Amino acid sequence: MIGEHQVRAITQLITDLIPSCEVGCVTGEMDNSPNTKVAKSCTGDLVGMQICDSMMKLWLQINARRRYIFTITRDTGFTKAEKQIVCALLEVCRNLPIEDTNLVDFTQKSISSRFTIPYFLVAYFMRGANPSRLWSSVAGLVSLQQLSYKKYEGSTCTSGFLCLKSIGNTIPNRIVGIDGYTYEPFSEPIALTGDYFEKPLSYRYVDGKNSFYVVDNHGQIQGVIRNNMPKHFDIIDRCTYKHIEKLKSIPGFRWITHSGTHNDVIVHTKKRVVFQWDQNVWRNREISAITDLLISFGVDAKFAIELVGVLVTLSEMRMGALILITKEEKLPDTIGDIDTSELGLELKKAVKGSSFDYLRETNAILGLLASDGMTSFNTLGELINSGAIIDLTTAHSAVKISGGGRSQAACAASSYGMAIKVSEDGPITLYKKGKKLLEWR
């Protein structure tokens, strides 16, 4: 049976992990329709879940007469990973037997639930439903979180772990076949303890970017794996985690956790769900929700995938941008260009009509999109215009414009297609016909 304090924690966690969703919670009886998945909690009470295209429901037992019903809705639907998260949350909640008692106890448990339930969920993806040896998975994660607060000689301290299932002494043989990596085994395994990153050599030599500690599922560090070709990956590859994709193909792979670019920690799980811990908040880093929206609008699939990778990179680099994807190549009225100098106009002329692939291959795309003003593409990824300043006074009358300058411009531009705003503090927001469809953080 779960308590009121846990209800609040679960509601907040869902809001953090599924961007732009609405979460409601009421009390009531479980739906007995055929598409409702039913299970038993650790106390023997029934819990249930129902998933539809744009709505998910969770039924969690409170007492013998009452259940909480969590309703999660989003007009744009849910991705596979988001559905996996809700399914996993049901499994986690089945094992939460704490009940409310007095006010002091309630306050203490509210704080506890807000911090512990997300860890149980992430650990579920790292470790599975079996709670045995749970700490061996969480220990590396907690060590990196503590490391994120440290600086050494003015630089942020970073590192990372790759967890492989212990199958005899076969870890070296499994890694040898991974092209582009070198494995440095330890003479004897070292236990992963709370003070693992006490000395600078531990995180300076293994930085979590090109090198990772190899840990087994018993919490024993077996050695170090190192990327032999770090220069083959540019900033976009790294922000979309392509530099570690091969590590996930190692037989017995369980999870990777490493430092991010903003004192955060990233967790990659076997089920392909990626979590980010940032400022004590857990978020789902999956980007297919953005990609799916673009493709549903009619954007070429290859262009959509490449564009989203660039958007995430701009977000990570804290570089703002405004992009319009239009089907008919009809653009909003403008009041001029960001750069009207002879050089600026010549540069704009030089790239007009270029394909997104060309701009990506020549490393021009980040600079172009982050150069202020609106950049416009057609659905095939051909550049129509760049550096444009939208005339907000002639915006479509049906569009209600509000927010800061870039938000207002995105709302106005969305009357002509799919508008995308990347904020300088990170969030990526998609608009259509003046409506905010998704805000990804």
Q: What is the pLDDT of residue 325?
A: 97
Give residue 217's pLDDT.
86
- CA end-to-end span of the chain, whole Å? 32
Average per-residue pLDDT for the chain: 87
Q: Which of 34-38, 144-148, 297-301 has the lowest mean pLDDT?
A: 34-38
Q: Is the pLDDT of residue 10 over 80?
A: yes
pLDDT of residue 32: 66
- Contacts with 339 (C-beta within 8 Å, 6 or more apart), sequence order: 345, 347, 348, 371, 387
User: Residue 193: which pLDDT band, with cuts at 50, 70 and 90?
Assistant: confident
| pLDDT computed for residue 295 by the predictor | 97
pLDDT at 103: 45
CB 27 within 8 A of CB 66: yes
Instruction: Write down the pLDDT at residue 177.
Output: 79
**Is residue 290 within a helix (H) or strand (E), and if so which, with residue range?**
helix 288-297
Q: pLDDT for 211-262, tens place per residue?
A: 999 999 888 999 999 999 999 999 999 999 999 999 999 999 999 999 999 9
Q: Which is more confidently placed, 91 or 425? A: 425
Band of pLDDT at residue 207, cut at 50, 70 and 90? very high
Looking at 109-118, 140-149, 254-263, 384-393, which range is the least confident one? 109-118
Give residue-wise pLDDT tens across range 46-80. 677 888 888 998 887 755 556 788 999 999 999 99
User: Tens digits of per-residue pLDDT, 301-351?
Assistant: 999 999 999 999 999 999 999 999 999 878 888 888 889 899 999 999 999
Ranges 9-18, 120-129, 388-397, 401-410: which has the least confidence: 388-397
| Strand-strand pairing, 383-390 and 281-284 | unpaired
Confidence of residue 425 (pLDDT cuts 50, 70, 90): very high
Does the structure show a pLDDT above 50 at 395?
yes
For 19-81, the DSSP string reads TT-EEEEEEEPPP--TTEEEEE-TTS-EEEEEE-SSEEEEEEEEETTEEEEEEEE-TT---HH
Q: Return the closest-CA partner of residue 95 out of 44, 142, 134.
A: 44
Q: Which of 69, 91, 82, 70 is nearest to 19 (CA)?
A: 82
When pLDDT is averaged across residues 125-134 and rounded to a whole number, the result is: 70
Phi and psi at 99, nearest 5°, equal -120, 160
- High-pLDDT (> 70) share of the chain, %: 86
Task: Decide which of 434 and 133 is more confident.
Answer: 434
CA gap 174, 213 in Å, rounded: 15
Q: What is the mean pLDDT of residues 164-188?
A: 88
What integer pLDDT is reported at residue 367 of this predicted model? 94
pTM > 0.95: yes or no = no
Residue 97 banded pLDDT, cuts 50, 70, 90:
low
Average pLDDT for 86-95:
82
Helix 134-147 with 103-127: angle, nearest 10 deg:
100
Flag whether pLDDT at 373 surpasses 80. yes
Strand partners, 331: none
Contact 21, 73 (CB under 8 A): yes
C-beta separation of 57 from 69 below 8 A? yes
Residue 102, pLDDT score: 47
Residue among 114, 395, 145 at smallest CA distance from 266 = 145
